[in-house]
Structure 1
Amino acid sequence: MPIDINCDMGESGDALALKNDEEILNYVTSVNIACGYHAGNHTIMHNTVRNAIRKNVQIGAHPGYPDLEGFGRRNMDVSAQEIYNMIVYQVGALQAFVAVEKGVLHHVKPHGALYNQSANNIEKATAVVNAVYDLNPAYVLYCLAGSEIVKIAKAKGLRVYEEVFSDRRYNADGTLVSREEPNAVIHSEEEMLIHVESILTANEVMSVQQKKIQLSAQTLCIHGDGPHALTFAKKIDALRKQIG
């Protein structure tokens, strides 16, 4: 199966960002739509769902911590039950918009700190997996390649797309470099293309410790809130087609 190219969307009410979101849909195969807790709102959710259906792009829910001020990227100490409830609540809202547009919800991808904290924390990972499974066992869970949540989800019976990132740097243990570090994000188009080509052709990334990491991934993420999101989407789409 050719690798899926996903993009986080619906995370800003800015007119230019919304225009970029719509154009990015021409270059990706799936989207993860913010559900109002870390970003987005009911109108942005509905419009993004409509646009994705019109462009025949697979739709996913992108639930996060209730942290608009911190864009969902601040760690929160919440119980497993709270994580379960907040995922059901947010995904349920997006499900409704997909239903009224007669579309299909394909996957769920946790956002930001929730994504990172649940990747290798058994209790949090189990809460995420149970919430997605209870909503619909046919949903695909998008999660960090090589992480513990992958094993938990598969044991539960969920389909999983292990995810790699086009614009993030990696530690030698396969985790993402914290966004609190200055080198967490790839901004250079040239570096991004070298990084993505290595993923597409060799299933590996180079860590910041200069160690090659093997990662088996089914989906590649472009962060839609990044300043280079549209340019990166175009370049990655062209590279993917070139490699075949």
Structure 2
Amino acid sequence: MQASSRRAGGNAGQIDLNADMGESFGVYKLGQDEALLGVVTSANIACGFHAGDPTTMRVVVEQALAAGVAIGAHPGLPDRVGFGRRELAITPEEAFDLTLYQVGALHGVVRALGGQLRHVKPHGALYNMAAARFDLASAIAEAVRRVDDQLILVGLAGSALVTAAHQASIAARSEVFADRRYRADGSLVPRRQAGAVIEDPAEAVAQAVQMATAGVVKAEDGSRVPVAADTLCIHGDGSHAVTFAMQIRRALEEAGVRVVA
């Protein structure tokens, strides 16, 4: 993900494709990381709290470097059982500390392997909590800045994470989701709610193209919500993740959108 001065509306004519990776740990294998690296332009690598382990981090970093994909840290809440998708009552100080710890770890791994960490994208519940709470978003942004003020903070389009990054004087990128439904206020429909995830690949592809080309998404109530679409998330843990990613990339390129980190 490259830095830009644009604050809203996305980068006209181009978009980044990102996927969450490195979420295997020990004998448990999750995702299709290596195959997805041939399709996406940015990889968000788990840092050991919600998923991942040191060996997985190293292996996926090596694979991303070989594929020429931009590498980002994917810090989450310390909740392996809930895969980091359950909210925990953390303070801003704790948000700062857990972000600093995880981003610092991956930053060191990437540097040791001859690469450069490019961005940070919080995971799951931490992402959603910080999207709504400016105190948590500010703590995360400050931790990112302390590790490396050239890092880009990725947050939900229109959320507190994006605002906090700007106030911390670091770059931000607004993220959109192909396979998630939106509320009228621009937030994501919670996963616990029926229909929160779009199961029809054709519908998800159409939503991705609409956000990338028109900068709007249809909310669950039928309203059209403006969104800045700098980077689009493709979830890599489904059985058809790679095929889905290829369909989205092909549709974007056919619509005249450049797919670039």
TM range (shorter): over 0.9
* Equivalent residue, structure 1, for 2:90: 78
* Equivalent residue, structure 2, for 1:132: 144
Indicate conservation of the 8 Å contact 2:138/2:168, yes or no.
Answer: no
If the length of structure 2 is used for normalisation, what is the TM-score? 0.90
Residue 35 (structure 1) aligned to one of 47, 56, 63:
47
Indicate conservation of the 8 Å contact 1:38/1:72, yes or no.
Answer: yes
Indicate conservation of the 8 Å contact 2:154/2:161, yes or no.
Answer: no
Q: Which moved more, 1:111-120 or 1:225-234?
A: 225-234
State the aligned residue count. 243
* One-letter amino acid matched to 2:229: A
Deviation of 1:17 after TM superposition, in Å, equals: 4.1
* Equivalent residue, structure 1, for 2:8: none
Residue 184 (structure 2) aligned to one of 172, 182, 187:
172
Structure-to-structure mapping, 1:1-244, within 5 angstroms: 1=11, 2-13=14-25, 17=30, 20-244=32-256
- 2-structure distance, mates of 1:148, 1:183: 25
* One-letter amino acid matched to 1:179: R
* One-letter amino acid matched to 2:64: A
- Unaligned runs of at least 5 residues, structure 2: 1-10, 257-261
- 2-structure distance, mates of 1:34, 1:148: 22
Secondary structure class of the residue paired with 2:225: strand
- 2-structure distance, mates of 1:120, 1:17: 29
Indicate conservation of the 8 Å contact 1:143/1:149, yes or no.
Answer: yes
| Cα distance per residue 1:112-171 (max 9 Å; x no partner) | 000000112121111111101111110000000011221221122110010001111101
Indicate conservation of the 8 Å contact 1:187/1:228, yes or no.
Answer: no
Deviation of 1:226 after TM superposition, in Å, equals: 2.6
Q: How high is the sequence identity, in percent, across the aligned residues? A: 44
Moved over 3 A (4+): 13-18
- 1-structure distance, mates of 2:138, 2:213: 32
> Taking CA–CA contacts closer than 8 Å with sequence separation of 6 or more, which of the two structures ends up with the larger relative contact order?
2
If the length of structure 1 is used for normalisation, what is the TM-score? 0.96
